Amino acid sequence: MSIRKHTIYSAIRQPEYTGENRCLPCTIANVVISVIGSLALAFLSPPSGLVAFVTAIAVIYLRGYLVPGTPMLTKRYFPDQVLAWFDKEPTQTFHVYGDIKDVDAEDILRRADALEVCAGGDDLCLSPRFSEAWHQQVERLEIDAPERTLADLLDVPSARLTTQNRGRSFVATVDGNQVGQWESRAAFVADMTAERALSELTRGWNDVPVEQRSVLLRQLRVFLEWCPECGGAVRLAQKTRTSCCRSWAVIASACEGCDARLFEVKADEVEGVDG
């Protein structure tokens, strides 16, 4: 491709609406409009209809849409449930562990002495005993200890497990297949150090199915007041996340010192949170 052609291509293309950022509802809506318009024109002049269709598809490919303002129109007028079908919003679950809906995490963690009623209130907090044990696990953490802990949980050799940042998430893979995903490495470290602390403190913890442990460990992150990555305080806030197709409110906790995300959940899944 010549420099001139490359410059023209770059000027026309809109990367924020193409490639991985392409809004599928926008693309589908514009292709349908292009087909209808081209067919109508083809009744008058078949060659003109064909040229119009090819041109429209080229514009959609390069710019993401044909009708100006399509991304905003789809967000405003398409049902949110429909947009969610096409969304690329990252999930923050342990993929291999599944989604265990019937786990009463707070009850189990209270019986495990990891949570207790806060002093002078009705809310739950980390028990001093567990909080100290968790903190100690973080303080004496070796570089690859979280990976070894996860490998033990999955019952696979450490050499087959790799971890890396991927976009806004931190993922673990075994033999190239993704087996886990967290909001950040800090969230991953939090889960693995909590796992080690519970293994030492709670009788029978290692007998709990891994599927349930993943739910319990994620729940514990909600109560963290210090960052396992940078040691600073943790802030809780309501934010707005935006994908290719839509926007939604989330409740998120993050480390003040390094801005690592520890926990994030859709606001409509939480009855009430003080921000």
Same domain membership, residue 66 and residue 102: no
For 140, the token pair is: 């004496």
Does one domain contain both 203 and 242? yes
In a domain, 9, yes or no: yes
Q: Between the CA atoms of 113, 191, 262 and 100, what dihedral angle is there, to the nearest 10 degrees?
A: -80
For the record, the structure tokens of 209 come out as: 């199915």
Considering the domain architecture, whether residues 31 and 102 belong to the same structural domain is answered as: no
13 and 144 in one domain?
no
Tell me if 17 is assigned to some domain: yes
Q: What is the DSSP string of the chain?
A: --HHHHHHHHHH--GGGSGGG--HHHHHHHHHHHHHHHHHHHHH-HHHHHHHHHHHHHHHHHHS-SSTTHHHHHHHHS-HHHHHHH--PPP-S-GGG---TT--HHHHHHHTTSEEEPTTSSSEEE-HHHHHHHHHHHHT--TTHHHHHHHHHHT--GGGEEEEEETTEEEEEETTEEEEEESSHHHHHHHHHHHHHHHHHSTTGGGS-HHHHHHHHHHHHTT--B-TTT--BEEEEEEEEE-SS-EEEEEEEEETTT--EEEEEEGGG-S----
Domain end (from 62, 86, 110): 86
pLDDT at 87: 52
81-103 pLDDT, tens digit each: 545 544 544 443 333 333 444 56
What pLDDT, on a 0 to 100 scale, did the predictor assign at position 28? 80
Are 111 and 246 part of one and the same domain? yes
Place of tokens 């707070």: 106
User: In the prediction, which pLDDT does 17 show?
Assistant: 61
Q: Are residues 140 and 235 in the same domain?
A: yes
Residue 29, pLDDT > 60, answer: yes
What pLDDT digit, counting tens, does each position of 160-207 carry? 999 999 888 899 999 988 888 999 999 999 999 999 999 999 888 888
Cα 66 from Cα 55, distance rounded (Å): 10
Assess whether 215 and 156 both reside in one domain. yes
Instruction: State the pLDDT at residue 88.
Output: 46
Question: Are residues 82 and 100 both part of a single domain?
Answer: no
Same-domain status, 191 and 210: yes
Q: Which residue among 43, 63, 86 closes a domain? A: 86
- The answer as to whether 275 is a domain residue is no
Determine the Cα–Cα distance for residues 185 and 183; give it in Å rounded to an integer: 7
Per-residue tokens: 211: 């599927």
Higher pLDDT, 1 or 119: 119
Give yes or no: residues 72 and 134 share one domain. no
CB 253 within 8 A of CB 227: no
Residue 196 lies in a domain: yes
- Domain of residue 74: give its range: 3-86
Indicate whether 151 belongs to any domain.
Answer: yes
Domain final residue, candidates 68, 86, 104: 86
User: Does residue 2 come out as left (phi exceeding 0), alpha (psi in the -120 to 50 range) or beta?
Assistant: beta
142's tokens: 């070796």
Same structural domain, 69 and 159: no
Both 132 and 79 in one domain: the answer is no
Q: Token digits for 86? A: 């096409």
Alpha carbon 270 to its chain centroid, in Å, reads: 17
Return the amino acid letter for 223: F
Q: Total structural domains in the chain?
A: 2
Q: Is residue 274 part of a domain?
A: no
Does 45 reside within a domain? yes
For 99-150, write each residue's pLDDT tens digit.
444 567 888 899 889 999 998 878 899 999 999 999 999 988 887 789 999 9
The answer as to whether 260 is a domain residue is yes
pLDDT in tens, 221-250: 989 999 998 888 999 888 776 665 666 677
